[in-house]
Structure 1
Amino acid sequence: MLALITSPAALLQNGAISKPLIDSLIKISASGNAVGITSNHSKPAWFDEAFKGTDIIFIKTDARQNGEVIRNAADSLKIEPYDIMVLAIKAEDMQMAKNGHAMLIAAGWSSDKAIKGLGIQVSNGKDLEDLVRLTDGWTGHWWFEGNKANYNARALADLSGYGGSITAAQKALAGKLTATVKNGGPQLTALALLASRSLLIDGYYDVDDLLWGVYPSSQVTQGDSEVLSDFTHALRTTVSLVRFAKRDEPLFIRHTASEKRSLNRGGDRTDPSDQIATIHINPFYKTRLKNRNVVVIDDCTTYGLSFGVAAAFLRSAGAASITGLALGKFGKTMQYYDIKISSDPFKPVTKGQYSFSPCIAFEGSTDSRAQQNLIRLMP
């Protein structure tokens, strides 16, 4: 079960209550999810008539911004705060969600600048219904989760057989993941919300100084044009209390095109040399990385090379911790890399300015429930 909390202002459009939004909340409640309307003010005069015969409740609170209403609701419903979705239309709603460690969704019809800057949004009540439906039942566990000394790794879905060739069904899922990221829509919003919920379960709300970035594609890129940028922005604005990454300043720059690793069938796909020699950290972050905790997003990973290379550059720049998050992971071939950058990580690195030890298997735990939910998300 999920719970949805919003404020009376979110149900008003042009000064009048929105019948479609009211109907959507009633449908969400009727599907078995708890719904509450909360405000610092008294119950609106229209509330009882609008929600007559439903289980939707009004919650009067003196200061919803501190998140206490989220914690109280979680205790009452015997669920976790990350099982609660907040539809935000004002900055106070956003503060309520963040301070209460709930899932945060922006009302796309809001005129509030802070709300309009959030990455997970719905445009109408139907979008909200779809998002609740797609999110309901998510276990909050990663398909793969591993923690090592120099960096951690997470993956939402398994995209291949256990050490064998990719199956037709898994290839189809990989294609759907890629299409979802590129095309957007309710599925991408739900995917971002699922990843956000998993990060909340991992305690990332309480991680100080979070900074987010995308691992660059194989082509030369100087701007923030990666297809994963919007997805990363959605995670960043939902999970982080404070944003340290600038939207139009990519964390990494691909200064030279690299080999397309998936096509390099004859070479050593665990050799990091080509990746090290073709990227560097954006100099914009030269004074912004020391002691930061960094999350690096990649679309799919097989050997985990992108996470190892990213971690090497970020540790050289003074980052406190690095977590690599992939939407998909191919099989059980992920490796752990111990790479050291001995030159300026904000400039191109040449041969002799880095070293690495032979990679080893990146051991971790898996949870098949996450896989099944993703299949349901992208039919």
Structure 2
Amino acid sequence: MLALITSPAALLQNGSPSKTLIDSLIKIRASGNAVGITSNHSRPAWFDDAFKGTDVIFIKTDARQNGEVIRNAADTLKIEPYDIMVLAVKAEDMQMAKNGHAMLIAAEWSSDRAIKGLGIKVSNGQELEELVRLTDGWTGHWWFEGNNTNYNARALADLSGYGNSITVAQKALAGKLTSTVKNGGPQLTALALLASRSLLIDGYYEVEDLLWGVYPSSQPTHGDSEVLSDFTHALRTTVSLARFAKRDEPLFIRHKASEKRSLNRGGDRTDPSDQIATIHVNPFYRTRLRNRNVVVIDDCTTYGLSFGVAAAFLRAAGAASVTGLALGKFGKTMQYYDITINSDPFAPVTQGQYSSAPSVTFEGNTDSRAQQTLIRLMP
């Protein structure tokens, strides 16, 4: 079960309660999820008529910004705060969600500048219904979760068993993930919400000095054109209490094309040399990475090589910690890479300017419940 909490202001359009939005909340409640309207003020005059005969409740609270209403609701419903969605139309709603450690969704019809800057949004009641439907039933955490000395690794779902042929499945699922990230819509919003929920479970709302980035694709790029950039923006604006990143300034520069690893079936796909030789950290972050806790997003990974390479560059640049997060993981093992960059990480690195030990199995925990949820989201 999920719970949805919002404020009376979210249901107003042109100063009057919106019947379509109210009907959507009633449908969400009828589907078995809890729904509450909360405010520092008294119950609106229109509330009783609007929700007559339903179990939608009104919650009056003195200071919802501190998140206490989220914690109280979680205790009452016997769920966790990260099982609660907050539909935000005002900055106070956003503060309520972040301080209460709930999932945060922006109402696109809001005129509040803080809400407009959030990355996970719905534009109407129907999209909200669909988002709840897609997210409901998510009982898993990460499919893979591992922590090691130099970096941590996370994968949202295990895609190895998708379809009858692993090779065909990998190509199809990677295409669907890319299409979903490129095209947006309810599936992408749900995907971002599930990833943010897992980060909330991990306590990332308490991690200070977070900086978020995308691992670059194989083609040269100097701008913020990666398909995962908007997805990463959605995560950082939802999970982080503060944001340390700049749009249009990618964390990594791919200064020349790298080998497409998924097509290199005959080569050693755990060899980091090609990746090290073709990327470096964006010099924009030369004074901005010291003691930062960095999250690097990749769409799909097989051996986890991108995480090891990213961590090596970021540690050389002064990062305090690095977590690699993949939406999908192909294959049953994740490898751990001990790589050291011995030159300037903000410039191209050549052979002899780094050292690398043979990769080993990345020890960690797996949770198979995540796989089917991600497959269900793919259109």
1:89-128 maps to which residues of 2 (within 5 A)? 89-128=89-128
**Contact 2:212/2:232 (8 A) holds in 1:** yes
Name the structure 1 match of 2:204. 204
Give the distance between the partners of 2:216 and 2:326, measured in 1 at CA: 13
* Distance in structure 2 (CA, Å) of the matches to 1:131 and 1:52: 24
CA contact (8 A) 1:140 1:201 kept: no
Which residue of structure 2 lines up, in the alignment, with residue 72 of structure 1? 72
Instruction: Give the structure 1 partner of residue 189 of structure 2.
Output: 189
Write out per-residue CA displacement over residues 304-352 of structure 1, whole angstroms, 9 at most, x where no aligned residue: 1100000000111111111100111111242110000111111111121
2-side partners of 1:172 and 1:273: how far apart?
Answer: 28
One-letter identity of the residue aligned with 2:208: D
Tell me which amino acid in the other structure corresponds to 1:33.
Answer: N
In structure 1, C-alpha distance between the alignment counterparts of 2:290 and 2:284, rounded to whole Å: 13
Map 1:1-16 → 2, pairs under 5 A: 1-16=1-16
Amino acid at match of 1:44: P
Give the drift of 1:171.
Answer: 4.8
Q: Quick one: distance in 2 between partners of 1:161 and 1:141?
A: 18
Q: How does 1:144-183 map to 2 (within 5 A)?
A: 144-161=144-161, 166=166, 168=168, 171-183=171-183
Aligned pairs, number: 378
Distance, in Å, in 2 between the alignment partners of 1:206 and 1:39 is: 26
Contact 2:159 2:371 in 1 (8 A): no
Structure 2: runs of 5+ lacking an equivalent: none
Q: Calculate the TM-score normalised by the size of structure 2.
A: 0.97
> Secondary structure of 1:104's match?
strand
**How far is 1:113 from its partner?**
0.8
Q: Secondary structure at the match of 2:369?
A: helix
TM-score, normalising length: structure 1: 0.97
Segments of structure 1 that go 5 or more residues without pairing to the other structure are none
- Between stretches 363-372 and 42-51, larger displacement belongs to 363-372
Is 1:326–2:326 an aligned residue pair? yes
Shift of 1:168: 4.8
> Tell me, what secondary structure is at the counterpart of 2:166?
coil
Q: Structure 2: how far apart are the matches of 1:169 and 1:35?
A: 38
Distance 2:139 2:55 in 1: 25
On the 8 A contact 1:3/1:33 being kept in 2, the answer is: yes
State the Cα deviation string for residues 89-133 of structure 1 (Å, max 9, x = none). 000100000000000000000011110110000000000000001
Distance 1:286 1:174 in 2: 33
Shift of residue 267, structure 1, vs aligned partner: 2.0
- The answer to whether the 8 Å contact 1:214/1:251 transfers is yes
User: What is the alpha-carbon distance in structure 1 between the residues aligned to residue 172 and residue 140 of structure 2?
Assistant: 23
Following superposition, the deviation at residue 9 of structure 1 comes to 0.5
Question: Partners in 1 of 2:346 and 2:358 — Cα distance?
Answer: 25
Contact 1:276 1:309 in 2 (8 A): yes
Q: Distance in 1 between matches of 2:352 and 2:175?
A: 39
Q: How large is the RMSD of aligned CA atoms in angstroms?
A: 1.5
Aligned partner of 2:37 in structure 1 is: 37
* Deviation string, structure 1 residues 227-282 (Cα, Å, up to 9, x no partner): 00011011010000000011111111111111111122222211111111111111
Q: Could you say what secondary structure the match of 1:22 adopts? A: helix
SS in 1 for 2:27: helix
Whether the 8 Å CA contact 2:158–2:370 is kept in 1: the answer is no
Partner of 1:234: 234
Identity percentage of aligned residues: 89
Contact 2:97–2:103 under 8 Å retained in 1: yes
How far did 1:375 drift?
2.3
Q: 1:260 — aligned with what? A: 260
Residue aligning to 2:352: 352
Is the contact between residue 65 and residue 95 of structure 1 (CA under 8 Å) also seen in structure 2? Answer: yes
